[in-house]
Amino acid sequence: MMSPDPSSVWPQTSTAPALAVLVSGGLDSAVLLGEAARSYAIVHPLYVRSGLAWETVELEYLHRFLHELKAPSLRPLHVLQVPVTDLYGKHWSIDGRGVPDENTADAAVYLPGRNVLLLSKAIVWCHLSRVPELALALLKGNPFPDATPEFFADFTTAVNRAVDGHIAVLQPYAYLSKAEVIRRGRNLPLSETFSCIRAIDGQHCGRCNKCAERRRAFAAAGVPDPTRYAT
């Protein structure tokens, strides 16, 4: 497959009037939402709440980002509930203990079945709400088994078959790095995005795996980092 035109990541053949975007409050999905709001007449932000330790702070940032974005195409944030506390049990993502730090590899932050849980309910929501396309901010080099092209093709087909639907799942950033995404969104309110998995007093901790990734990406992008870090 060829890399898309860097000036436009959306399918040139799409005539869909509306799009749903899975947003987490992080850099990638926030930039994706901002770009979508300029390309579609109607954009529905979807947030999936699972009971993870950082979600309360993450949602606060997301609400502020949406307020700053002020795009006429944006519809109100819709929160879907997909609890995982019964699945993950005593896991760092639930209780905040032993959070992977800045020296850990990407594999340390893997949440088993995360995309299965996110996509299943989001696709069904799109089907019931008559929104024909769903986008998420998967990036180049994602190492996890539920982020492969084969997974997305098979899983989307299965869920569509289950509801007799035809929802298209888009991955516009699948050829981009986080630094490239930051450059695309440098004029957006990136200070109101949240990437941390160990928030301290409503701020990025500055020491976890995701904070380290965020710092490196801003440096690689050559864009000043507007993030408020606790350390």
Determine the topology of domain 18-100+113-194 in CATH.
Rossmann fold (3.40.50)
Instruction: Give residue 143's pLDDT.
Output: 80
**Residue 49: pLDDT above 70?**
yes
Distance CA 188, CA 42 (A): 19
pLDDT-derived band at 8, boundaries 50, 70, 90? low
**Residue 117: pLDDT above 80?**
yes
Average pLDDT over residues 1-29: 69
Q: Of residues 147 and 68, which shows the higher confidence score?
A: 68
**Both structure tokens of 161:** 């078959």
Instruction: Give residue 141's pLDDT.
Output: 81
Q: With the C-alpha atoms ordered 130, 59, 139, 141, is the resulting torsion angle positive or negative?
A: negative
Instruction: Give residue 10's pLDDT.
Output: 60
**Residue 107: pLDDT above 50?**
yes
Distance CA 70, CA 67 (A): 6
Strand (E) or helix (H) holding 129: helix 114-129
Residues 6+ apart with CB under 8 A from 36: 10, 19, 21, 43, 135
Q: Are 190 and 214 in contact (CB under 8 A)?
A: no
Average pLDDT, the chain: 91
Distance CA 195, CA 140 (A): 17
**Residue 2: pLDDT above 60?**
no
In the chain, domain spans: 18-100+113-194
**Residue 210: pLDDT above 70?**
yes
What amino acid occupies position 146?
A: D
